């Protein structure tokens, strides 16, 4: 039972940790542990005390306890977070209850309790070759290649990833699309794609160009990243940088048609004409097939609605022409 908590000036409290546990033998089950914590207790510290004093069979991962190693990602009251960067009493205050649920990260196979298998995540990261490939001259100490301050400023943010996987656990596109590299790999990929000292740009382009169009721009990675890396920004920049790369992959081609259709629609109508944009993006045959679903769902009338330009369409066009 959750107890309402007076959050003002909360210095210590008895907290109930509801941990979602899993083992091959027992499957999924919830287990509760009570622990007294003070305002300095991180979730990793609470787990350590539970493991040492109450239940040595509880499994979780943590190493640095200072948001550097990236090993303690989990869901805390449903939010993907680093357990070591989360103070227990902050969660109590935020949710107004002394019951805190701890679950393994979504989208990852569970090994035991809060420990997940990161193999596929690491594979995706490795596919973007997350390291600098300098020129032969630099490697042979015959040349020096310095990064300009403006390049350093651009790349710094994307170099801060600690490979915690929280963004991937929150990303709906990773779940749906096996060809999408995922937010962390894109942040890392862009960091090296845009580095002027790197020498394998062509290879990087092949890996990143199509995948970048598989992101749905939901911004979940932006919200959950404990290092404020904004993987979605890396994806946007990758799209912009590689927009004229040929040959295009399937997602890249659809993405281009879509953005051109949106531009034309706004230029013509001053707003988005959904029906026209859909046909221009996916082609007539697929649109007709999809229309049958719309009919069945009673939504076809929206696609068939006649769209008139907005009154101020000329002003919109002037803006788009930069006048």
Of the candidates 46, 40, 49, 54, the residue with the CA atom closest to the CA atom of residue 74: 46
Fill in the per-residue mask, 114 to 153: x = in contact with ligand FES (CB under 6 A), - = not in contact. Answer: ----------------------------------------
128 binds ligand SF4 (CB under 6 A): no
Residue 225 CB burial class (10 angstroms; 0-12, 13-18, ≥19): buried
Instruction: State which of positions 13-52 bind ligand FES (CB under 6 A).
Output: 44
Q: What is the DSSP string of 187-216?
A: HHHHHHHT-TT-S-HHHHHHHHTTGGGG--
Among the listed ranges 59-67, 105-113, 174-182, 272-280, the one in contact with ligand FES (CB under 6 A) is: 59-67
Among 173, 207, 209, 279, binds ligand SF4 (CB under 6 A): 173
Contact status: 262 vs ligand FES (CB under 6 A): no
Q: What's the CA gap between 192 and 195, in Å, rounded? A: 5
Q: Report DSSP letters for 125-161, one per residue.
A: HHHT--S----HHHHTTS---PPPHHHHHHHHGGGG-
19 binds, among ligand SF4, ligand FES, none (CB under 5 to 8 A by kind): none
Query: Using CB under 6 A, which of the segments 47-55, 162-170, 279-287, 299-307 binds ligand SF4?
Result: 162-170
**Measured distance CA(198)–CA(131) in Å, rounded:** 9
| Angle at alpha carbon of residue 167, lines to 163 and 173, rounded to 5° | 125
Candidate segments 29-37, 166-174, 264-272, 291-299, binder of ligand SF4 by CB under 6 A? 166-174
Cβ proximity to ligand FES: between 18 and 65 the closer is 65
Q: Beta-carbon neighbour count of residue 116 at 10 Å?
A: 22
Q: How far is the CB of 166 from ligand FES (least distance, A)?
A: 10
Taking the C-alpha atoms of residue 197 and residue 199, their distance in angstroms, rounded to an integer, is: 7
From candidates 50, 220, 248, 279, binder to ligand SF4 by CB under 6 A: 220
The contact set with ligand FES (CB under 6 A) reads 44, 62-65, 67-72, 82, 84
Chain residues binding ligand SF4 by CB under 6 A are 161-167, 170-173, 183-184, 187, 215-221, 225, 227, 229, 231-232, 235
């Amino acid at each position: 039972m959750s107890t309402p908590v007076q959050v003002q000036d909360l210095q210590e409290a008895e907290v109930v940790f509801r941990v979602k546990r899993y083992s091959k033998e027992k499957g999924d089950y919830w287990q509760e542990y009570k622990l007294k914590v003070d305002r300095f207790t991180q979730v990793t510290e609470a787990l350590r005390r539970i493991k040492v004093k109450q239940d040595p069979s509880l499994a979780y991962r943590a190493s640095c306890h200072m948001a550097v190693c990236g090993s303690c990602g989990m869901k805390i009251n449903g939010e993907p977070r680093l357990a070591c960067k989360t103070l227990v009493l902050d969660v109590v205050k935020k949710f107004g209850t002394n019951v805190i649920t701890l679950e393994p990260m979504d989208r990852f196979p569970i090994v035991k309790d809060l420990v997940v298998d990161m193999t596929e995540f690491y594979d995706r990261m490795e596919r973007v070759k997350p390291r600098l490939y300098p020129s032969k001259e630099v490697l042979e100490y015959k040349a020096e290649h310095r990064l300009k301050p403006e390049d350093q400023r651009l790349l710094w943010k994307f170099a801060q990833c600690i490979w915690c996987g929280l963004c991937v656990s929150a990303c709906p596109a990773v779940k749906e699309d096996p060809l999408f590299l995922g937010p962390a790999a894109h942040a890392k990929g862009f960091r090296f794609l845009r580095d002027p000292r790197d020498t394998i740009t062509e290879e990087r382009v092949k890996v990143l160009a199509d995948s970048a169009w598989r992101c749905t721009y939901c911004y979940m990675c932006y919200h959950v990243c404990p290092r404020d890396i904004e993987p979605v920004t890396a994806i946007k920049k990758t799209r912009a940088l590689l927009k004229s790369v040929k040959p295009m992959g399937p997602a890249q081609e659809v993405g281009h048609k879509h953005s051109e259709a949106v531009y034309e629609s706004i230029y013509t109508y001053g707003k988005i004409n959904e029906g026209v944009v859909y046909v221009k993006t996916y082609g007539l045959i697929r649109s007709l097939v999809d229309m049958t679903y719309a009919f069945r769902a009673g939504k076809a009338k929206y696609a068939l609605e006649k769209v008139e330009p907005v009154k101020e369409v000329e002003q919109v066009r002037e803006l788009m022409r930069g006048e």
